[in-house]
Amino acid sequence: METAIFWLVIGIFILMNLFDFFTSHLNNKARFLPIPDNVKDVYDQESYEKWRAYSGENERLSTIRATLYFLLVLALLAGGHFASLAEAVQDWSGSVYLQNLLFLGILFLASFIVSIFFRAYSTFSIEERYGFNRSTVKLFIRDTIIRLFLTVIFGGGIILLLVWLHEVAGSLFFLYAFIAVMAIFLFVNLSYVKIFVPLFNKLTPLEEGELKEKIENLAKKENYEVKKISVMDASRRSTKLNAFFSGFGRFKNVVLFDTLLDKMSDDEVVAVLAHEIGHAKHKDVLKNLLLSSTTLAIVLALLYLFISIDAIYAAFGLDEPLFAFGLLLFAIVVNPVTLLINMAGNVFSRKAEYKADRFAAESTSQKTMQSALKVLARENFSHLTPHPLFVFLHYSHPPIKDRVGALERL
């Protein structure tokens, strides 16, 4: 049985990674397909050739990073080195909490250090050469330190919480873990703009003027309360644009990237916000919360069943079970399940995006919404011809050609 478990885990890891490489390759090749007529005006020929080169460089970097991760984890897994690390931390400390923190902490730190080099190359080589990067080395280091701090605090805290619940809750681990993780998720969501965004960016109130008046008129027209509209200095790091709503009920906040205000007309900005209001009107935030909580419940239930099987630890040479080691193996085995769940979630999400686009077109105008989508696609260097399989598996938003096409059919 232990041999079968060993090869099952190894097999799932290899097959899922090969499948990811395959679908990414298909999507990369699709960038040479002819541009659909309804989005031919997104790029001029020079810009499109630039996008193809940019996309190709990002794909190569992503492939190198994924290949390195795949080979390294496979070697450590098949060679029994993860188990050796687990045994070392068990020998070093008698505290089950310290054992789990050390095991995952060492793995995380190694992964984090490697990821810094890839992020630095992406930021200061690829993004810099194609005119997107505005970050400095000093800002990059500051961001990296803050991310590390947040990951250690929240990641370490969640691990300790899960280990404690596993130790004391027994068969009720699934229920208590679900309640605890959902409480953390809600806290982060509700406090995101007030606590976490200011760690990286400066938020300033939207100035009085025509744009603010148009946004307030739209909100009043749609009976949607907006208490605070902020502008985020996203241009400190990138030229790319976005806008988002955060929070629920009276905690709702609207955040606009300053790059969005620079690259779009007032009417286009209002159309983007109308799209977000459409999500709120259709209760998409609550639906997403329900979907996320269902997914979390399924994953935690499977986790409890998985880590309760002693033969899994023995299959990889570990004499005594360690929660963190079981969590590592579970992350590999559960991959096909989470892929299926995410596929279903993406189908729902893409439908919600079409509905929000329609709401925005009816609240503002069809042409303005189409124009706003094209500006977002152009300034963010979006893929105009993604492969259908890659879209089905990974896209939470429909491709730009499909969104514009749906608006044209209204």
All residues at 6 or more sequence positions from 231 whose CB lies less than 8 Å from its CB, including other chains:
203, 204, 205, 206, 255, 256, 257, 258, 261
pLDDT at 119: 94
According to the model, what pLDDT value does residue 249 have?
Answer: 57
pLDDT tier, 85 (very low <50, low <70, confident <90, very high otherwise) = very high
CA dist 402 and 68 (Å) reads 35
Neighbours of 92 (CB within 10 A): 11
Residue 320: the pLDDT is 85
Which of the residue ranges 13-22, 251-260, 377-386 has the most confident prediction, judged by mean pLDDT? 13-22
Q: Is position 268 within any domain? A: no
CA-to-CA distance for 406 and 395, rounded, in angstroms?
Answer: 17
245's enclosing H/E stretch is strand 243-246
> Residues 11, 14, 19, CA angle at the centre, nearest 5°?
120
**What percentage of the chain carries pLDDT values higher than 70?**
98
What pLDDT, on the 0 to 100 scale, is given for residue 221? 86
pLDDT over threshold 80, residue 225:
no
Q: What is the pLDDT of residue 217?
A: 87
User: Per-residue pLDDT for 252 more than 70?
Assistant: no
Please report whether residue 246 resides in a domain. Answer: no
Assess contact for 400 and 380: CB atoms under 8 A.
no
CB 90 within 8 A of CB 99: yes
Residue 146 lies in a domain: yes
The pLDDT of residue 247 is 63
Gap between the Cα atoms of 354 and 373, Å rounded: 12
Tokens of 174: 């699934």
Condensed to tens digits (0 to 9), the pLDDT of residues 298-314 reads: 999 999 999 988 888 88
> H or E stretch including 84?
helix 81-92
- Count structural domains, the chain: 1
| DSSP letters spanning 179-206 | HHHHHHHHHHHHHIIIIIHHHH--EEEP
Strand order in the sheet with 253-257: 203-205, 229-232, 253-257, 243-246
Split at pLDDT 50, 70, 90, the class of 408 is very high
Residue 207 confidence (pLDDT) above 80: yes
Pairing of strands 253-257, 229-232: parallel
Compute how many other C-beta atoms are within 10 angstroms of the C-beta atom of residue 237: 20
Residue 195's pLDDT is what? 86
Range in 239-253, 342-356, 379-393 with the lowest mean pLDDT: 239-253
Q: Give the ranges where 209-265 is alpha helix by DSSP (H).
A: 210-221, 258-263
CB atoms within 10 A of CB 179: 10
More confident residue, 254 or 267: 267
- Averaged confidence pLDDT in the chain: 90
In a domain, residue 187? The reply is yes
Read off the tokens for 356: 């929000």
- Mean pLDDT highest for which of 68-72, 214-218, 247-251? 68-72
Backbone angles phi, psi at 245, to 5 degrees: -100, 150
Nearest-angstrom CA–CA distance, 197 and 307: 36
In a domain? residue 259: no
Give the range of the structural domain holding residue 15, as residue numbers without chain letter.
2-202+281-408
Whether residue 251 has pLDDT greater than 70? no
Confidence check: pLDDT of 142 > 90: yes
Q: What are phi and psi of 246, to 5 degrees?
A: -140, 145
Does 235 reside within a domain? no
How many residues are recorded in the chain?
Answer: 410
Q: Are 142 and 200 in contact (CB under 8 A)?
A: no
pLDDT of 250 reads: 54
Residue with more model confidence, 212 or 371:
371
pLDDT at 102: 94
Mean pLDDT of all residues in 181-187: 88
Instruction: Flag whether 398 is in a domain.
Output: yes
Question: In which residue are the tokens 């059919």 written?
Answer: 409
DSSP 8-class letter at 207? P
The whole-number average pLDDT for the span 230-236 is 89
In a domain, 71, yes or no: yes
pLDDT digits (tens, 9 = 90+) for 306-338: 998 888 888 888 888 899 999 999 999 999 999
CA 224/CA 276 separation, integer angstroms: 11
Q: What is the CA radius of gyration of the chain?
A: 23
Q: What span, in angstroms and rounded, lies between the C-alpha atoms of 162 and 159?
A: 5
Nearest Cα to Cα of residue 38 among 389, 388, 315, 384: 384
